[in-house]
A and B are shown apart, each in its own frame.
Chain A
Amino acid sequence: MHPKRKQRLLVIGVLVCGVGLTTALVLNALNENINLFYPPDQIVAGLAPIDQRIRAGGMVVEGSVFRETGSMTVSFVISDLAGSNVPVTFEGILPNLFGEGQGIVANGRLGADGVFVASEVLAKHDENYMPAELAAMQGRKPPMGNTVNAGSNGYSAGG
């Protein structure tokens, strides 16, 4: 083979291998490791999958935080302030900025009994910071424009 052709093939070969491998890794990882966000109204409406890793978020309802004595388990209720409430349990240490009336986002799984079992709880960072999911949560409730409801995956029809 002509050396120049060979050199060129080599470069293309390395590139194709690298890109191909990465694409395979990315597709595989994206399939398994993305967490869809569900606001309380969708969870209450049964639109969230049971026992899959998802993300839920809302405001912690005042007076709902309850710690079991003698263990690290804590339970509370998150709400979208529009009537949909989801009970959450979590075992572990809550973030510093967790509090009643605060917005939080939790990663975890929804049980068949409707209780969200959180593996991780994220609280807002300061008074200027709001997790993007929560900021948008309110935006999706009012009469929706045609942009929101494109029928993309059946989950967006929540409001």
Chain B
Amino acid sequence: MRAPSATASRPGLHRASLFIPLGVFLLVLLLLWRGFSLGDPHALPSALLNHPLPDFALPVLHEPDRIVSSEAMHGEPFLLNVWATWCPTCRAEHAELNRISKEYGVPIFGINYKDNPAEARRWLARFGDPYVFSVVDADGSLGIDLGVYGAPETFLVDADGVIRYKRVGAVDQRVWDTKLAPLLAELRDAS
């Protein structure tokens, strides 16, 4: 901070000192910028990034008798979406998932997270079902293994079941265009 202007015997020096507040401000801004990019939660790397999907054995939403493991999803790169009917953002995101599934033919699997299966089935009947299938994670145990913070979250997983990218929050067209689609193209080329 600068002294109140009382006198200025050497104006040149004085003028220079008027730049001090600007300098201090730019420093603070730089700091915020650092903290901000460090703390960006949407780009949050998962503990499991570049690790295989954790093992699980959970029932399928539409076929409660069928228990599947992560192998049922392998084969080609896919999206794994954590969703629930109690989550308004999932509702907002749903149209985009429908679009991705229809227009790009990407397999999308769902994790129906801490939800009521009957309600979840009604929800999909009403809003459309973009999922190859959804597994029922009623107690959130798979969510814990995946380090899920809340719904929605979306993982991009390669053909061998290794997690390559994680998105916390809704997938919208921008996220698809700028992140998921390019990464997916890369994975497809690689395999």
In their complex, do chains A and B touch, with some C-beta pair under 8 Å?
A: yes
User: Which residues of A pack against B, CB within 8 Å?
Assistant: 4-5, 7-8, 11-12, 15, 19, 59, 80-82, 101, 127-128, 130, 132, 135-136, 138-139, 141-143
Complexed CA–CA distance, A142 and B162 (Å):
14
Q: Which residues of B contact A127 (CB under 8 A)?
A: 87, 150-151
Q: Is the CB of A138 within 8 A of B147?
A: yes
Q: Which residues of B contact A128 (CB under 8 A)?
A: 150
Interface of A is mostly: helix
Interface of B is mostly: loop
Name the CB-closest residue of A to B48: A142
Q: Which residues of B contact A138 (CB under 8 A)?
A: 44-47, 147
Complexed CA–CA distance, A141 and B45 (Å):
9
Within 8 A of A (CB), among B136-172: 140, 144-145, 147, 149-151
- Would you give the shortest CB distance from A110 to chain B, in whole angstroms? 23
Q: Is the CB of A59 within 8 A of B144?
A: yes
Complexed CA–CA distance, A115 and B150 (Å):
29
Max count, chain B CB within 10 A of own CB: residue among A8, A130, A135, A139? A139
Name the CB-closest residue of B to A127: B150
- Would you give the shortest CB distance from A151 to chain B, in whole angstroms? 18
